[in-house]
């Protein structure tokens, strides 16, 4: 196969910017920042949202403990300083994903308002939407769920500094979305997340409300 070369390739000075990437991809980049107690449902919702977005042809990416704590932040522990640096790095990385035109979804407890505010500032100073979602459940419900037995260990003193037990969780005073996961179903929560994305201009209305068959953008 003979390839044509020189005439095929043109470019201008300057870099591809976020607007061009968004146009190319047909969506807007943003960060959906889920925050809440352990066992509140953050990861469940993140996984469900990711799947529904993919069914509708959108590209999203989840950052969570699995791909951050064992990779980028493997050299951080649980001291106050390290917790802050943990959330700072996550904020920077999720901002890069949003800048790449991706719907970036983070599911970390992120208990301190100052850290979440810092992440918001990181984004908003670059004009990138930051959507804080409070995944809210009463502590007693989270403790009942406790699929990994973490609350039990924390109550027994085997884990120190556990959010909700001997370390505070600071509820967001003004999140973009407040989900009560003890009374809402996952389906309802995902619908509310899609509505939020539409309201903030991330995805258009046609992909939010009607059936998957009708709106499926995957080939």
Residue 113 beta carbon to its own copies: minimum distance, rounded to whole angstroms:
21
**How many residues of this chain bind its own copies (CB under 8 A)?**
63
Up-side HSE of residue 95: CA atoms within 13 Å toward CB?
18
**x/- track of binding to its own copies for residues 38-57 (CB under 8 A):** ---------xx-xxx-xx-x
Contact assessment for residue 48 and residue 186, using Cβ atoms and an 8 Å cutoff: yes
> Among 63-71, 111-119, 145-153, 154-162, which window interacts with its own copies (CB under 8 A)?
63-71
Where do runs of H (alpha helix) occur along 42-138? 42-55, 65-67, 80-99, 113-124
Q: List C-alpha distances in Å: 219 to 23, 55, 56, 59, 101.
A: 18, 10, 10, 14, 20
CB of 59 or CB of 159, closer to its own copies: 59
Inter-residue contact 196 to 133 (CB < 8 Å) = yes
The minimum distance between CB 101 and its own copies, in angstroms, equals: 7
Site for its own copies in 123-182 (CB under 8 A): none
Residue with tokens 């046609």: 206
Answer yes or no: 38 catalytic. no
Spatial contact of 32 and 50, defined as CB atoms under 8 Å apart: no
For the CB of residue 69, give the shortest distance to its own copies in the complex, in Å.
11
Residues 9-38 that bind its own copies (CB under 8 A): 9-12, 14-16, 20-21, 23-26
User: Which residues are identified as catalytic?
Assistant: 107
């Amino acid at each position: 196969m003979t390839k044509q070369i020189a005439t095929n390739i043109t470019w201008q000075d300057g870099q591809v910017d976020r607007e061009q990437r968004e146009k190319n991809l047909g969506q807007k980049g943003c960060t959906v920042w889920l925050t809440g107690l352990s066992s509140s449902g953050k990861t469940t919702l993140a996984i469900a949202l990711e799947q529904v977005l993919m069914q509708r042809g959108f590209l999203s990416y989840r950052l969570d403990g699995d791909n951050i704590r064992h990779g980028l932040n493997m050299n951080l522990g649980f001291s106050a300083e390290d917790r802050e640096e943990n959330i700072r790095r996550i904020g920077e990385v999720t901002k890069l994903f949003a800048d790449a035109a991706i719907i970036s979804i983070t599911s970390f407890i992120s208990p301190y308002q100052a850290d979440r505010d810092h992440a918001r500032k990181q984004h908003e100073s670059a004009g990138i939407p930051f959507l804080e979602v409070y995944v809210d459940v009463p502590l007693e419900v989270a403790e009942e769920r406790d699929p990994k037995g973490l609350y039990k260990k924390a109550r027994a003193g085997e884990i120190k500094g556990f959010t909700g037990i001997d370390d505070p969780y600071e509820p967001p005073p003004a999140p973009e979305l407040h989900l009560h996961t003890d009374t809402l179903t996952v389906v309802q929560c995902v619908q509310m997340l899609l509505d939020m994305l539409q309201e903030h201009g991330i995805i258009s209305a046609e992909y939010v409300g009607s059936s998957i068959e009708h709106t499926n953008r995957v080939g």
